[in-house]
Amino acid sequence: MIFCRHCGKEIHEQASSCPQCGGVQPPFVSATAIPGEGDSLWMAITSLVLSIVFTLTLLEDAEHDKDALIGMGVFLIASLALGVISLAGKKAGKGMAIAGVVLSSFSLLALLGSL
Ligand SMILES: [Zn+2]
């Protein structure tokens, strides 16, 4: 429920005008249309997990062939993007999103350096 801009009565959120006073309501942007806390948190967690996995893989002494490095690069970019999207959205999981972005960037640079 939202409140009428004109009389303050509680009205349905999708009502285009107020049944109480007839006042026209501004277009209502549904909260569910924007990525919610859950989505943001999910992206932050995915970003963090992916970046940790690939950072650890990169830090191993094992030699990685070029195909494997390119594959990791793709996932790291995805992880970086998820972290950035998560940060641009709501505050849920912000710390994890920042860690994901930092780790992904670090790994990506290390990866580029080893190509
Ligand atoms: Zn009204």
Q: What is the pLDDT of residues 10-40, one digit of tens each?
A: 988 888 888 999 988 877 555 444 445 556 6
Q: What are 58-110's pLDDT values in tens digits? A: 777 666 677 777 887 788 888 888 778 877 876 667 788 888 888 888 888 87
Read off the pLDDT band of 7 (50, 70, 90): very high
What does the block give as tokens for 77?
């970019």
Distance 35 CA to ligand 1 centre (A): 29
Distance 12 CA to ligand 1 centre (A): 11
Q: What are 47-60's pLDDT values in tens digits? A: 888 888 877 877 77
Cα–Cα distance measured from residue 3 to residue 25, given in angstroms and rounded to the nearest whole number:
9
Distance 11 CA to ligand 1 centre (A): 8
Distance 75 CA to ligand 1 centre (A): 51
- Predicted pLDDT at 21: 94
Q: What does pTM read for this prediction?
A: 0.52
- Predicted pLDDT at 33: 47
